[in-house]
Structure 1
Amino acid sequence: MRPRLAALALTAAATALAAPLLTAPANASAGATDTATTLPRTGFELSNGKNWTTQPEEWDFLAAVDRGSDRVGIDRIGSTKQNRPLQLVRIGGGHRPTATVLLICSQHGDEPSGREACLTKVRDLAFAKDKRTKKFLERTRLLVVPTANPDGRNADTRGNSDGVDINRDHIALQTAEGRAMAAVIRDERPDVIYDLHEYGATPPYYDKDLFDLWPRNLNTDAHVHEEAQTLSDDYVRPAANEAGHSTGTYGIWTDPVTGDPIKQTAGDGQERILRNASGIKHAVGLLIESRVDALSDAEKADESLNHRRRVASQTSALGGLFEFTDERGRRVHAATTASRYKGLADRGPVYLGGADNDPAEPAEIIQDPPCGYRLDAAQYADLKDELALHGVRVKTDGTGALVPVRQSQRALVPLLLDERAPYHLAKGAPVEAC
């Protein structure tokens, strides 16, 4: 493993505790405060991986971390339909952070391993004492949504309490969860958005321990896209491999003998998925998927072994993310900043379809976008909150609103308002002269 990877994945103090974390004494408490021998522990750790951390255990755990560390702050960024809190944890950042990283954990409520990795990583960074990690936290502002779908996690369901897949709501923003995440992305302007999931294997063609995928949407800036692939190829996958986990590209079936791709079953460029919305909104996005299925007879016999392996694969990949941020933070921030300003130049096509491995058809390309889209009063009244959550600039008057294309969110405007876009929210009237 690279020297910096181990140091950033777990600090010296946390490393000393790593072995007993999953075998804590029976009288340990998830809300325990830091002492010479004890740090707060999750319900997952206290049960040695048998049980996933419950919502009350998560709240107690985060409250204990917050009390015990001056590096951590916790905000309530929304509430679910069932009135569970949506929380945002802030760690580090110093006075002039180089880059901002946002972890979105457990959008799908029945995919808990990434959430467990996020929770323990919050704790490990909060109480780190070694100089290298302290410097990392001075340069990096880490934002974590530990449970992006609390109602789904409580019910162990993919969707939220209305059965909606939150990871298909990053354009329409019809869910409380999707709206909360959009507001965080708008206000915090993360340079990296890291989205943690799980998947069911299809052996022998699709059964790696860990898959990942960058934004495939063609509206992603070329330099942002390049950084996302670098994050995957040079940091996350090597980190997972060094920890003993196999890796691959999400959505691509491969020949078990030659390793050649056979077909694509998922991982397209549709804009409503967070991985792609991240790229459109100028962030280096990466989707992470750990394998749910047992890898051995021992895991089949003891589900805690399966649980711990899934969490371990997610934790190792997070180490790669942190090394990437530490080494390339300035370059990444320069790429995302430049991407945000490119829309003001108002040049180039906007893509309504296609992907980085699937060229857009001519009908899916707006070669010369209009100056803007006109919304009548009723349309604007219906959409003004969503436009604001997306950070889209509008010009209002007594009869409705003009949404100019020349703005930071240039590519997003046609995706929201052009009737040819697959997930458009309204049929805006194209305006050729603003």
Structure 2
Amino acid sequence: MTHRFRTAVLAAAAVALAAPLLTVPAEAASAAQPPRTEFETTHGARWTGLDEEQDFLKAVDRGGDRVSLSTIATTKQGRPMRLLRIGAEHAATTVLLVCSQHGNEPSGREACLTEARDLAYAKDPATRRYLDRTTVLVIPNANPDGHAADTRGNSDGVDINRDHIALKTAEGRAMAAVMRDRQPDVIYDLHEYGATPLYYDKDLFDLWPRNLNTDQRVHDESETLSEQYVRPAARDAGFSIGTYGIWTDPETGDPIKQTAGDGQERILRNAAGVKHSLGLLIESRVDPMTDAEKADESLNNRRRVTSQLDSLQGLFSFTDAHRAKIVTATAAARLAGLRDSGPVYVGGGDNEPATPEQTIQNPPCGYRLDAAQFADVKDELALHGVHALPLGKGAFVPLRQSQRALVTLLLDERAQYHLTAGQPVTAC
């Protein structure tokens, strides 16, 4: 949707460089010319620095009245975590891009910065119509401290993408608050991976929510996003793509084993599904694909970012074409918990049936927390959007609410990542 605009941006920059005698006031220049990232200006030789990122985001914020920039958290080391809103403020469809949760995986961040700029400054009718009907939220740098240190984890060494249940990190808490308050219909999570030739070495891999507590309609639409939109968009651009975590035989393409990509709820793509948002993880390959990329690091870097950008076009096409189905699926999933019926799963996945021990066939009607327990977890419950009722000095957390399955995952001792072991209440 924005490829031609990207080309126009580069052409405009070339014209500007060719006419150095033309003097334009700084304010007018910033309004007329879309900003460019450090990655773009160096043709992939350098990743955009954190200071440059902040200046770039401020320039994007000036892209028009359909853009707003806010700070949703401050990291332990004092760096801002930003949220960009582009498009309609309260549209029926909301898309959230979460970029580079792992600080040593920079291509997603670069893709998000570029895409946010292109959307904010777009003039073509198709993009403007899309933004009139869509709220696009972008967390361009989900791990500023990790990016500064070039580490997977944050400044405490915590993997943020394993913190979407416990919410012990400032970064995880900020994302939970965005999910609670904005209720995105689609969450698209950009990462990178290290290849294992010949079994696991495509340009890209993606994966939808595997957690069995994901509403079937949300799961199916997430899978459609992958198989009918993101993967074709990548292939049309010349990139190979497959299923994240699944090694395949190089001769036949048959799956050999699964090494990642399970259904654990603390990972964002699964947390998205449990919280009734469509989810998709996308991973670009860090390792060079060709001898030319081995010889020229910037060429490898450009492939990593370009593959992410081209895949994003599949996301935008999907949300435009499936708008009604997406909204129906997420709305129905959010209402389903109020019926308070059906099993809750504490293990398994869409490709790995839950065992009897992982299946709570008849969940309690809620969980009682004593005063100490409630004091310890009440903030996390609130960030997750889970409602608790005062009960003496403690609380009662009913299952009959939108986040029904999440209540069990947070408070049942059988759930692997539970916050505390609440007392099951069977008669309400």
Indicate whether the TM-score tops 0.5: yes
Gap change, CA 1:24 and 1:271, over 3 Å in 2: farther
Q: Would you say 1:373 and 2:370 are equivalent positions?
A: no
Distance 2:209 2:307 in 1: 21
In the TM superposition, 1:35-434 aligns within 5 A as 35=32, 38-93=33-88, 97-434=91-428
Task: Provide the residue aligned with 1:14 in structure 2.
Answer: 6
Task: Provide the residue aligned with 1:33 in structure 2.
Answer: 30
Q: Which runs of 5+ in 1 are unaligned?
A: 1-7
Distance 1:133 1:193 in 2: 20
Distance 1:282 1:70 in 2: 30
What is the DSSP-based 3-state SS (H/G/I as helix, E as strand, rest coil) of the residue aligned with 1:223? helix
1:268-295, Cα deviation, whole Å (9 max, x unpaired): 0000000100000000000000000001
- 1:71 is displaced (CA, Å) by 1.7
- 1:360 is displaced (CA, Å) by 0.3
What is the DSSP-based 3-state SS (H/G/I as helix, E as strand, rest coil) of the residue aligned with 1:263? strand
Aligned residues, how many? 421
Does the 8 A contact of 2:2 with 2:127 survive in 1?
A: no
- 1:345 is displaced (CA, Å) by 0.3
Distance 1:222 1:362 in 2: 20
1:23-44, Cα deviation, whole Å (9 max, x unpaired): 99599x9x96143xx3200111
Aligned-pair RMSD on alpha carbons?
1.8
Distance 1:176 1:139 in 2: 31
Q: Mean alpha-carbon deviation: is it higher for 198-207 or for 16-25?
A: 16-25
Distance 1:201 1:415 in 2: 33
What is the DSSP-based 3-state SS (H/G/I as helix, E as strand, rest coil) of the residue aligned with 2:171? helix
1:139-193, Cα deviation, whole Å (9 max, x unpaired): 1100000000000011110000000000000000000000000000000000000
- 1:19 is displaced (CA, Å) by 6.6
TM superposition score normalised by structure 1: 0.94
Distance 1:433 1:89 in 2: 45
Which letter maps to 1:229?
E
What is the DSSP-based 3-state SS (H/G/I as helix, E as strand, rest coil) of the residue aligned with 1:312? helix
What is the DSSP-based 3-state SS (H/G/I as helix, E as strand, rest coil) of the residue aligned with 1:78? strand
Distance 1:13 1:275 in 2: 30
- 1:117 is displaced (CA, Å) by 0.6
Gap change, CA 1:133 and 1:111, over 3 Å in 2: same
Does the 8 A contact of 2:31 with 2:62 survive in 1?
A: no
Distance 1:261 1:235 in 2: 22
- 1:21 is displaced (CA, Å) by 7.2
Distance 2:50 2:17 in 1: 21
Task: Provide the residue aligned with 1:5 in structure 2.
Answer: none
Distance 2:92 2:367 in 1: 36
TM superposition score normalised by structure 2: 0.95
Q: Which runs of 5+ in 2 are unaligned?
A: 21-25
- 1:70 is displaced (CA, Å) by 1.8
Which letter maps to 2:46?
N
Which letter maps to 2:279?
G
Which letter maps to 2:165?
I
Which letter maps to 1:166?
I
Which letter maps to 1:63?
K
